[in-house]
Structure 1
Amino acid sequence: MSKSNICSNCASWRPHVQYPFIGLCIKLGKLTVDDDSCEFFEEIKLKNNEFYWVPDIKSRVFGEEARILNYKGYRVYVGAYVDPDVREEIYGAF
């Protein structure tokens, strides 16, 4: 497999919101590390009428803005994975 065919370059991979080096593969239905790979690799194709997740700025962006950020070197993903147990990482305040 090519080094470019890794999870973090795949349209089926959703990086974890807090830990972007791990993510959810929606094809395999499990968590993987960003440099893993499998036979289901599909290149991310940015479309003008969809939202995307940019971990570096922890924000969703729309079509053309996603293209500009991707051109500038930011990683752009179809979505993000929010761990259902993230509440365990939130510290209570008094």
Structure 2
Amino acid sequence: MDSPSPRDEFSLESERKAYEDFLHRIKKRSSAAVDNCMVELRMTLSNINEMLTAMRENKWRQQLWMSGYSKFEVGIFVSFQLLNFTLLSVVLHLWK
């Protein structure tokens, strides 16, 4: 069974150290890329959330306005019907 000489062990240790340093540098670069990607993703999701909130608020305002307008419309309709009934009763009273 062959065992490495002390010089080979030193060589393997230095190779392992160089490989670990290389992996560490890659992790740093990769980490920066992942961080940038996460920032972009968060910003995109924030923009989507803001857009959905604005659309929801717009629909809510539109629904509120339509319900208010429908109440106003019913009020005007009832007012005109009362006016119509009053004028009809006056005309019928004068005609007799």
Does the TM-score normalized on the shorter chain lie above 0.5?
no
Q: Work out which structure has the larger RCO, using CA pairs closer than 8 Å and 6 or more positions apart in sequence.
A: 1
Name the one with the larger helix percent. 2
TM-score (norm 2): 0.17
TM-score (norm 1): 0.17
